[in-house]
Structure 1
Amino acid sequence: MAEKLEDLNLPNMSVQKIIKEAIPENVNIGKDARSALSRAASVFILYVTSQASKEAQKANRKTLIGQDVIAALEELEFEDFIDPLQDLLKEFKDSKKKTPSKTKKQNDETEETETAENEDEGVDEPMEEEQE
């Protein structure tokens, strides 16, 4: 767990970027308001995560999944966030299907192929120095 309360805050640059994208260009926001928004977002995340953890425990799991977060939002009466979150979760899952990650076996086969190619080209052989 976090050693200090400040460790629970979101990174300032990330919060600043989100704020900048959310407000009109001609609006400035003070440092204290940025700090308050950062802290509020951190508390919200901890609140939802705590409830999602309870949802996972009900299902006898230790790992949180997207459905736990959605159930937590529903339980905490943040229904307005559920539809956008489900859409983003679906997009994420679809993007993962399109770009499958390599399995350990595929990684091992790639390494063997590259090593064999390098040996054929003499890349792994040390160069001999001419002695005079």
Structure 2
Amino acid sequence: MPPRKSDVAKATSEEVAVGAPSTSTPAKEAAHKEKDGINIEDLNLPKSIVTRLAKSVLPPSTQIQGNAMLAMTKSATVFVGYLAAHANEYAQAANRKTVAPADVLRALEDLEFGEFRPRLERELEVFSENAARKRAGAAKKKKGGEK
């Protein structure tokens, strides 16, 4: 007779301390996720976006294996998290709760990725111009709708 679900979910401290072999099943992992609220896989960047970015810099006929995409997704997630953590430290040091673009650029320099700075500054400028244009268009549309 198989063990009851309630008995399987209870791991004794001795089993954990000894390092008993894992009998993890998808149901157990789902229950563990519900208990903790977050899973490490939930923190990964979206695979579709990482794939699109990777394919945009490769020749059109290039195929990317699944393991390579998984490695790129995980490494991009780690990099972004590491950069965000350092940028957040600069924001906290300035008694701010919001990370500003200057914090990210400073963190890049600190992490020895300064060669990315010129391109990121250009991309930030383009993004800011597009955002300002959108805001102006929305304000104009709203003002035109009130008449």
TM-score normalized by the length of structure 2: 0.66
Aligned counterpart for 2:63 among listed residues 28, 32, 39 = 28
1:85 partner SS: helix
1:87 Cα offset (Å):
0.6
Greater shift, 16-25 or 34-43, is seen at 16-25
Q: Max radius of gyration: which structure? A: 1
2:119 partner SS: helix
**Is 1:15 matched with 2:87?**
no
1:7 Cα offset (Å):
0.8
Instruction: Give the helix-richer structure, 1 or 2.
Output: 2
Aligned counterpart for 1:53 among listed residues 67, 85, 88 = 88
1:25 Cα offset (Å):
1.9
Q: Distance in 2 between matches of 1:109 and 1:30?
A: 52
Partner of 2:125: 90
Identity %: 33
1:80 Cα offset (Å):
1.2
Partner of 2:104: 69
Q: CA RMSD in A?
A: 2.2
1:26 partner SS: coil
Q: 1:26 to 1:96 in 2, by over 3 A?
A: closer
Aligned counterpart for 1:37 among listed residues 60, 66, 72 = 72
Q: How does 1:98-113 map to 2 (within 5 A)?
A: 98-100=133-135, 102=138, 110=145, 113=146
Gaps of 5+ in 2: 1-36
Instruction: Report the number of matched residues.
Output: 109
